[in-house]
Structures are given as structure tokens and as C-alpha cells.
């Protein structure tokens, strides 16, 4: 079985000599697609449009890394750094999670998305809002920043209005549904808080310490929204892809509650200066270790071979381990101390690129080609296999260069060596750019009737049902 969990290949196609520009023959494939389109749980190209935006922001983010590195080395709280951080956190990570949720939530809950067309408007507002935020962070223009942030908040409310009705019915019973519902709540909270932090720069009404306020916002976002989503989606995806011999344990639901409670307590103690951050940092870390133990058992008892997806997931867990260690060290040193200024960038890198990005890259190898193949089927275009839509030969380079680059950058920050940081940034950017370009190529086949060269050349192909 190739890396992507392919649907059972049970149909042999004849030669595929049709030129991409020729009209598509209305074969049985077409009739299947008409049935597929009639299914209200199928949401067509919506997730793919989110992935295109996400991968585009990732490309911009990795290309900016070598230029932003000297600023981060000076101090992490700066205009350029804020711009690059939100290129990754909102543009890349949040857009990717939104795309995955649009695909999985209706399928999982068996409840159709209430306003599918609204998703396109939501994406447009999101992309414009995030671009505006990144540009105004870079310019240090706070008025423009919070106007753009309001657009992002509106887009997030539209997203929640579409998905929450599907998830709510199974809150507390379905593990993945509960995690995604909690994550949605954290997304709305953190986006509203971020917008308030921006407005506060103009009107100065919030009070409190700038660095602990930012830290409260960043933790609600990174752990409450992103990590919670990754935990929830992994509980749904890993059993399907690894076919473990052990079922998902019921206490997975309690792991999600523990994570939500700990990160909420951590954020409240940071925002209101209540103290006890180290205790809540440790309980948050314990909830994450709990998740690693649950998925570790499933990986150990898998029936499927390890491909690039689980390799990226394992690299992601290594990134999480480094982030946990540096995060706890940061609560002891404080962000504004000599060591805090060195640890904080390493902590953010381990979390954003080491943990989150590895999970998204790995997941995308598994999901994107399948989504594209299905979207083509829905439009009645010539069928292509997941293997034909996947670029396998660059995956070792993406894995090696991206992860080595992140590790070298973290080491450079800890050692205070700018040369090392920049070398790592260039290496990581090369791996990241290779990923983004090959993924764009895969996604492009959802928007054009042409078939990949490999499909056009082979006379006899096995097509998925
Ligand atoms: C609409 C959504 C968001 C808005 C409006 C927003 C806004 C902001 C603002 C205004 C700041 C600077 C605060 C200050 O200087 O006092 C900030 C910092 C930060 N945000 Fe966000 N944010 C959003 C989403 C996110 C997400 C989803 C994440 C992470 C997953 C995130 C992570 C961070 C981090 C790490 C910092 C600190 C960066 C540094 O110190 O260089 N933000 N955000």
C-alpha cells in the first residue's frame, strides 16, 4: 500500500489518451459524480481553496525566515517578528485547520454544513484580513492592524457559525467532535483578545504587562486553538490511517478536557497576573504527554507501514518535546531576562515549525491528493490516482532540510550565534519552499481538467473507485 491510504483500487482504466483540452466524456464516472454532488455532506472544493491559501502563506513565511532571523536574534517582540509569526499562525496553520475541519466535520457528524457558499466569502475575508494584519504588523501601523484583525474575527465567527451546529450535538460524546468544538471556542477567544491587544495600542485601556498579555494570547492561540485541533483531528485520523489493533481509549476525552482546563488557567494567570504559571505550565505539559502516550500506543500497535506522514508526525512530537522543555524553562526565567530572550524564539520555533508545521505537512501528504481526486470526480474530470497526484521524490529533502533547519535555528538562538541562525533559516526555507511548490502542483489539479504527466503517459492504470 502506498503512503496515502488509497481507496481500494478495483477498476482498471483503459488508455488515457484524452488531451486535457478535449471535452470530458460523460462516462460512468460522470454519473457517479452527479450522485456525489447531490450528497449534502460533500463540500466540493471548499477545503482545497483553504489549503491553497494556507500553502501560499507558508511559502511567504519560509522565504521571509532568513531575512527576519537577525531581528528575532535581537529581541522577539518586534514588528517584523509579529508579521512573520502571524503569517505562519494565521495564514498557514489556521487556514489549513479550517480546510481540514470543513472536510471532516460534516462527514464525521453526518450533519451538512449549513451555508456552504458562505465558506468562500469567509475565506476571502480571512485572506484579506490576514494579509492586512501581516502588512500592518510589518509597518508598525496599529490602527490598520486592528481594522484588519476585525475582518479576521468576522471571518472566524462565520467559520464557527457554519461548523458549531454540526459539532454541538456530539459535544461530550464524540472525542474528535468535542476537541474541535473546544478548539473553536479558543479560536474565537484568542482572536478577540488579539484584536483587543491591537486596539489597546491606540487607546491604551487594558493595563497589565505587555509581555504577559502577549503570552496569554499566544498560549490560548497555540495550545487552545492549534494544539487542541491537532489532538482532536489526530484522534480521528490516526486510527483510520494506521489501523491500530487497540481502539481509541475513552479517557482521550478527558485528555482534551485536561488540556482545555490547564491552558485556560495558564492564560488567566498570565493575563491577570495571578501567579502560578509554572504549575499550570506543568499541568498543560502533562496533558500533552497524556496525548503523546495515547497516540504512541496506536502507532506502536499499527498494521500499516510508516511512511512520510508518520515520520513528520514523529518529528512533530520531537518538536513538541523541545517546546515543552523550553516552555517550562521560560516560566522560570521570565521572557524579559537575558536567558528568556534566548529561550523564547527557540520555544516559538519548536512549537510553530517543529510541532505544528510537521503535523500539517504530514497530514497534507495523506489528505490533499485524495481531496483533489475527489473534487475532480465531482466535476466529472478525468480520474487520477493519489499516487499520480503525489510528488514522492522531494519528500526526503523536505523532511531533512526543513527539520534540520529548524533544529539548527533553535541551537543558534540558544548559543546566541547569528550565523548559525541564518544558516538554519536558509536550510529550513529550502525544505519549506520545496514542500510548498510541490503541494501547489498537487492542489492545482483541483482547478484544471488536465491530468498529471504520469497519468497521461501510462496506458493501463488502476483507478480508485
Ligand atoms: C485574529 C487573530 C489574531 C489577532 C488579532 C492577533 C493579534 C496579536 C497582537 C495584536 C499581538 C501583539 C500584542 C502586543 O504587542 O501587545 C500578537 C502577538 C502574538 N500572537 Fe497573535 N493574533 C491572532 C492570532 C494568533 C494565533 C492564531 C497565534 C498562534 C497560534 C498567535 C500567536 C501570537 C504570538 C506568538 C505573539 C507574540 C509574537 C512576538 O512576541 O513576537 N496569534 N497577536
pLDDT in tens, 151-190: 999 999 999 999 999 999 899 989 999 999 999 999 999 9
Measure the CA–CA gap between 186 and 352, rounded to whole angstroms.
17
Whole-model pTM over 0.85? yes
Residue nearest to atom 40 of ligand 1 (CA): 77
Residue nearest to atom 9 of ligand 1 (CA): 194
Cα(195) to centroid of ligand 1, in Å?
9
What fold is seen in the domain 39-448?
Cytochrome C Oxidase; Chain A (1.20.210)
Give every CB contact of residue 413 below 8 A, 6+ residues apart in sequence. Answer: 72, 73, 342, 343, 345, 346, 349, 421
Measure the CA–CA gap between 337 and 334, rounded to whole angstroms.
6
Which of 58, 61, 77, 85 for a ligand 1 pocket mutation test, highest count of atoms within 8 Å of Cβ? 85
Cα(362) to centroid of ligand 1, in Å?
25
Cα(271) to centroid of ligand 1, in Å?
14
Question: Which residues of the chain register pLDDT less than 50?
Answer: 1-37
Residue nearest to atom 24 of ligand 1 (CA): 191
**C-alpha cell of 358?**
510537521
Query: If you search the block for the grid coordinates 503525489, which residue do you land on?
Result: 390
**CB-CB contact of 388 with 452 (8 Å):** yes
> pLDDT at position 463, please?
57
Cα(190) to centroid of ligand 1, in Å?
8
Q: What atom of ligand 1 comes closest to residue 129's alpha carbon?
A: 1
Ramachandran region, residue 18 (left: φ > 0; alpha: ψ -120 to 50; beta: rest): beta
Q: How far is CA 5 from the centre of its chain?
A: 20
Which of 134, 204, 221 for a ligand 1 pocket mutation test, highest count of atoms within 8 Å of Cβ? 221
* Burial profile 118-138: b = 16 or more Cβ within 10 angstroms, e = fewer: ebeebbebbbebbbbbbebbb
Ramachandran region, residue 382 (left: φ > 0; alpha: ψ -120 to 50; beta: rest): beta
Residue nearest to atom 10 of ligand 1 (CA): 198
Q: What atom of ligand 1 comes closest to residue 153's alpha carbon?
A: 1
Quickly list DSSP for 217-285.
HHHIIIIIIIIHHHHHHHHHHHHHHH--SSPPPTTHHHHHHHHHHHHHHHHHHHHTT-S-HHHHHHHHH
> pLDDT at position 462, please?
59
Which of 65, 89, 228 for a ligand 1 pocket mutation test, highest count of atoms within 8 Å of Cβ? 89
Which of 212, 217, 343 for a ligand 1 pocket mutation test, highest count of atoms within 8 Å of Cβ? 217
Measure the CA–CA gap between 338 and 233, rounded to whole angstroms.
38
Cα(374) to centroid of ligand 1, in Å?
36
Tell me how far apart the terminal alpha carbons of the chain are, to the nearest angstrom.
Answer: 16
Residue nearest to atom 6 of ligand 1 (CA): 194
Residue nearest to atom 41 of ligand 1 (CA): 77
Cα(86) to centroid of ligand 1, in Å?
7
Residue nearest to atom 21 of ligand 1 (CA): 194
Give every CB contact of residue 257 below 8 A, 6+ residues apart in sequence. Answer: none
**CB-CB contact of 179 with 229 (8 Å):** yes
Query: If you search the block for the grid coordinates 525544505, which residue do you land on?
Result: 431
Residues lining ligand 1, judged by CB closer than 6 Å? 76-77, 81-82, 85-86, 89-90, 94, 149, 152-153, 190-191, 194-195, 197-198, 210, 213-214, 217-218, 221-222, 225-226, 348
Q: How far is CA 67 from the centre of its chain?
A: 23
Q: What atom of ligand 1 comes closest to residue 352's alpha carbon?
A: 30
What DSSP character marks residue 90?
Answer: I
Amino acid at each position: 500500500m502506498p503512503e496515502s491510504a488509497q481507496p481500494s483500487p478495483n477498476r482498471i482504466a483503459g488508455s488515457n489518451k484524452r488531451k486535457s483540452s478535449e471535452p470530458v466524456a460523460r462516462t460512468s464516472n460522470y454519473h457517479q459524480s452527479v450522485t456525489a454532488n447531490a450528497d449534502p455532506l460533500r463540500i466540493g472544493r471548499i477545503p482545497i481553496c483553504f489549503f491553497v491559501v494556507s500553502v501560499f502563506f507558508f511559502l511567504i513565511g519560509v522565504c521571509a525566515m532568513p531575512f527576519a532571523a537577525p531581528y528575532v536574534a535581537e529581541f522577539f517582540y518586534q514588528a517584523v517578528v509579529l508579521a512573520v509569526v502571524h503569517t505562519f499562525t494565521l495564514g498557514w496553520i489556521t487556514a489549513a485547520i479550517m480546510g481540514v475541519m470543513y472536510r471532516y466535520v460534516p462527514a464525521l457528524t453526518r450533519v451538512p454544513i449549513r451555508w456552504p457558499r458562505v465558506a468562500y466569502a469567509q475565506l476571502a475575508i480571512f485572506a484579506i484580513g490576514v494579509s492586512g494584519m501581516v502588512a500592518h504588523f510589518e509597518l508598525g501601523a496599529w490602527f490598520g492592524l486592528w481594522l484588519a484583525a476585525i475582518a479576521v474575527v468576522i471571518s472566524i465567527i462565520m467559520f464557527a457559525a457554519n461548523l458549531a451546529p454540526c459539532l454541538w450535538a456530539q459535544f461530550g460524546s464524540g472525542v474528535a467532535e468535542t476537541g474541535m468544538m473546544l478548539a473553536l471556542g479558543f479560536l474565537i477567544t484568542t482572536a478577540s483578545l488579539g484584536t483587543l491587544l491591537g486596539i489597546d495600542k491606540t487607546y491604551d485601556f487594558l493595563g497589565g504587562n505587555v509581555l504577559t498579555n502577549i503570552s496569554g494570547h499566544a498560549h490560548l492561540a497555540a495550545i487552545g486553538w492549534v494544539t487542541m485541533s491537532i489532538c482532536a483531528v489526530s484522534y480521528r485520523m490516526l486510527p483510520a490511517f494506521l489501523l491500530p489493533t487497540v481502539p481509541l481509549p475513552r479517557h482521550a476525552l478527558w485528555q482534551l478536557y485536561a488540556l482545555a482546563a490547564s491552558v485556560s488557567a495558564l492564560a488567566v494567570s498570565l493575563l491577570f497576573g495571578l501567579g502560578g504559571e509554572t504549575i499550570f505550565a506543568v499541568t498543560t505539559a502533562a496533558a500533552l504527554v497524556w496525548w503523546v502516550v495515547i497516540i504512541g500506543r496506536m502507532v506502536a500497535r499499527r498494521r500499516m507501514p510508516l511512511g512520510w506522514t508518520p515520520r513528520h508526525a514523529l518529528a512533530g512530537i520531537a518538536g513538541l518535546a523541545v517546546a515543552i522543555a523550553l516552555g517550562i524553562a521560560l516560566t522560570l526565567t521570565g521572557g524579559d531576562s537575558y536567558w528568556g530572550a534566548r529561550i523564547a524564539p527557540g520555544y516559538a520555533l519548536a512549537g510553530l515549525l517543529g510541532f505544528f508545521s510537521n503535523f500539517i505537512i504530514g497530514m497534507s501528504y495523506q489528505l490533499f491528493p485524495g481531496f483533489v481526486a475527489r473534487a475532480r470526480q465531482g466535476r466529472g474530470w478525468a480520474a487520477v490516482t493519489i499516487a499520480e497526484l503525489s510528488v514522492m521524490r522531494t519528500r526526503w529533502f523536505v523532511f531533512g532540510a526543513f527539520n534540520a533547519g529548524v533544529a539548527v535555528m533553535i541551537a543558534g538562538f540558544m548559543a546566541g550565534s547569528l550565523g548559525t541562525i541564518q544558516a538554519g533559516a536558509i536550510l529550513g526555507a529550502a525544505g519549506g519552499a520545496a514542500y510548498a511548490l510541490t503541494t501547489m502542483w498537487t492542489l492545482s489539479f483541483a482547478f484544471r481538467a488536465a491530468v498529471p504527466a504520469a497519468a497521461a503517459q501510462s496506458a493501463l492504470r488502476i483507478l480508485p473507485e
